[in-house]
Chain A
């Protein structure tokens, strides 16, 4: 338990700054997410398909303007070529902003945020999921399916099961094109079942795909510790009230590790004045 003076100081800091519940960054983030969704699937700019998107957006979607980084990565691994351009792209994005694209630009993350806004009683489930070991599942998925699977079979194994592909490419193409519909078989049914499970899970828990599956988030997550944009908690003022955890879409404790590998830099926790964005200057 924190001492009284610290608790008082935290209370006064909270009352002097913006209140935690006012969440000024949320509307802005939603606008950016919406803009990113529209841009990533705006069709007219599809000349940009030579460039990988910094977010998970299936390039088989008829409206997609950029290439899916995970699909492209699997293609290179399947051809047994080292993907220099992709690794460079991941390194630059990660070094500058870490996983911020997950929180601010990913259309699939945006969909999960919207699904979780459906009001339900799910407090007990949230607590159980937060303490489960499932959050490490994305590492074997990344190594097993995206790297080893693609290398061994020469096929994009993750794409075969990816709910983003099923939702953005599978559903619309099968719906509008009779020739594609004729080719849809067992794999399509499996994909639709995965999409359904994903939608139900996203209604029940916060960002399940980002927390337990996303290979792109797995690539970006180590950069959170070294990226230019960071979060900093004033430990002297923090009384661990848990308001930041309640606001966090990844259900993490920012006061324990502000630059956690799971953090998507949505900055919702920064509505508490104890947590601040810090730019990685050398004179820290």
Chain B
């Protein structure tokens, strides 16, 4: 184990022994956020396979009479 790693390990263990810290690993993002991100990416992939981006493009390119307020 390198000195830097050993120092970090000692610091975490010492803090836990003194009741100040936790040995629990700190994950950068909550699992709920991971789940939502995974869900979002899956939906986008499904949407891409269903040619939804082409539909969005065609809808956006057409001059929208409702947006402008035409008869």
Chain A residues in the interface with B (C-beta under 8 A): 49-52, 58-60, 64, 66-68, 71-72, 75-76, 83-92, 94-96, 155-157, 159-160, 162, 165-166, 169-170, 173-174, 180, 183-192, 223, 226-228, 280-284
Contact = CB atoms under 8 A, between A and B. Distances in A.
A67 B56 contact: yes
B37 A184 contact: no
7 contacts: A60-B68, A67-B56, A88-B43, A92-B41, A169-B64, A228-B30, A281-B30
Nearest to B34: A95
Interface of B: 22, 24, 26-33, 36-37, 39-48, 50, 52-57, 59-61, 63-71
B50 A155 contact: no
Given A88-B42, A191-B69, A281-B28, A71 B52 contact: no
Interface of B is mostly: helix
B66 A160 contact: yes
Given A51-B53, A226-B32, A228-B33, 10 more contacts: A71-B67, A84-B46, A85-B48, A88-B43, A89-B40, A92-B40, A160-B69, A165-B69, A186-B71, A188-B68
Contacts of A180: 63, 68, 70
Main secondary structure of the interface of A (DSSP, over half): helix
Contacts of A170: 67-69
Nearest to A59: B60
Contact of B44 (A85, A94, A188): A85
B67 A91 contact: no
A84 B43 contact: yes
A185 B67 contact: no
B31 A188 contact: no
Given A180-B70, A185-B70, A84 B52 contact: yes
Contact of B36 (A83, A84, A95): A95
- Residue of B33, B53, B56 most packed against chain A (CB within 10 A): B56
B52 A282 contact: no
B29 A282 contact: yes
Contacts of B64: 58-60, 71, 156, 159, 165, 169
Which of B32, B40, B61, B71 gathers the greatest number of chain A CB atoms within 10 Å?
B40
B38 to A, nearest CB: 9
